[in-house]
A and B are shown apart, each in its own frame.
Chain A
């Protein structure tokens, strides 16, 4: 099956610093990758959709200058949380949609990154 990896799985950083999270599709090409945030006991909240080679589309209320997304290749997307604050502490999950028509609508999720900002 399709596998998506995320790195790091956990990160603790100090307030004001930046953190980069990588999302990779390991055995398929992903034209579209999604970044979600999930606070405890809440559902997934879509932050942005990124298509390879173009700018990400951010959901309403998500600051694009704070959450920088780069989707430079068909297998890698990165999310950088800039000038992180304690309220940015959350579980960040990426997912990837495969390029092949048979998997056009299914999203494969990475294992998530637990970010704690102190």
Chain B
């Protein structure tokens, strides 16, 4: 079956760094997405990785290892507004997004 695993909840301190991990098992693989979702709002796109390695975009970076079925989202210099759920989603062989349950990130002052 197809499966995405990510931690349910994480807590971090303002100004610190946090890494949110995601492992996936899909029928075929055409890339991995990370989305941010604030409570009561729709998801917004953060990153897309299809090749192994690290993609950096400002304070946010995303890493992919296809051989390990593993990705992480790294958030630096955390701000209170980064408190949100972070959704990992893998694109399978049919170009269908398989969604993780999301990781709720709580930022403390």
Contacts and interface: CB of A to CB of B under 8 A. Distances in A.
Q: Do A and B come from one complex?
A: yes
Interface of A: 34, 42-46, 49, 91, 93, 104-112, 114
Contacts of B101: 42-43
A45 B101 CA distance: 9
Given A43-B101, A105-B95, A93 B48 contact: no
Contacts of B31: 105
Interface residues of B, dominant DSSP: loop
Interface in B71-101: 87, 91, 95-97, 99-101
A43 B100 contact: yes
13 contacts: A34-B97, A43-B101, A43-B102, A46-B97, A46-B99, A93-B43, A105-B30, A105-B95, A106-B33, A107-B97, A110-B42, A111-B42, A112-B41
Contact of B43 (A46, A49, A109): A109
Interface string B25-69: 000001101010000111111001000000000000000000000
A106 B49 CA distance: 11
A114 B45 CA distance: 21
Contacts of A45: 99
Interface residues of B, number: 20
A43 B98 CA distance: 11
A102 to B, nearest CB: 12
B41 A106 contact: no
A106 B48 contact: yes
Contacts of A42: 101
A111 B42 CA distance: 5
A74 B42 CA distance: 21
Contact of A109 (B42, B100, B102): B42
Contacts of B95: 104-105
B92 to A, nearest CB: 11
A44 B33 CA distance: 14
Nearest to B50: A105
Contacts of A91: 40
